[in-house]
Chain A
């Protein structure tokens, strides 16, 4: 079989990318867990482990550059390597958001005065599902599955609007909670960004399969 070596390298690379995805998934779940239980030790773990995510991303980047330089990839091989490169960056940024949530958790501390808005765990669950779906669509080269990621994004955006609205209301009604509320705003923002990054991953999957670059769906109507 011609290029068996190269094929093997590509397979290993994709497997490592999925591995990075799993690391990020765990980080998001952990950070939300820490927030829910106000578990400072867990939050600290999330922050510390983000370094590993960063390192893994650079490792992947280097491997991609190596393969591009030595194998002269064309067509689908080229698109795959470029996509892996981009997706690694997206995943690393998602990891940063999880780290952000962890830091906020540490700032909030054990203050149980303000409740965690219930949309947040929901947003997190959906974000994680979108991440899983986008990575699966890469593994299976399934453009239909990639499409579904966008549908979920609309829901996350709706949740984000709702939680922001609610937090502003609460802030207005109860000025003492402004500080805590602001923190939760940040968390909501991070979760919305996580979902958004997942759609970017889906975009890259479409690129690998069809060669089309650019935004897949028209931007959301501004209300």
Chain B
């Protein structure tokens, strides 16, 4: 083995050090750029919209005058639709994940299903809107209602929930399952008493991601018939509705200067709702995780 001369050794060491530092700096720079842009966006929003947020804004219906415009209808619409989407996608998603990971693991059907579910996540959201229009609005006679909108969004975010739940279920150590089986548990008991509680934090993560995606969707809801000007609050699952992104988009396309500020205010409200939902889910997830520590 040839001995590396001392001077060359020094040079390599120095070069390595510089490369390390350079890489570190590059990463730092990227973070600054990303956060910087986010900061710029937030500051612009706050500047534009914070003045417009007051009680009347939150409790009024939209109007042709910017200072009288409110987002009550859109806010409630978003909350209801996302609630429906969340519940449906959670139930269907967890059940599907359990089926694929616990019951049908090695079957060919499971393998094909998993590949296709991953692909579904990449389908443009407008396609779901058209699907929702055809199936929920027309065939099931639900009309362009909160329920139909919720179902449509549920389909959209279902792949996210399934993938996250599948990961979570797969991450449950086999030793826990074995230990349960060895005590005489049936498959169902193992899933209910061991797998689901263990996987719950991961499943909740999936739901958070799904809900965050759903609340910002515009195109599919417009496609299945959500309104843009709603002077009433949705009073039943079958009533028509609008959502925050649609309302905001509506305001930004108006010529009056005042509506830009109103739109900014709407965006802030949307972000706040998003943050509150996320925080709630994260707190819930942490509570479950700590229980097992």
Direct contact of A and B (CB under 8 A): no
A contacts, CB < 8 Å to B: none
B residues lining the A interface (CB < 8 Å): none
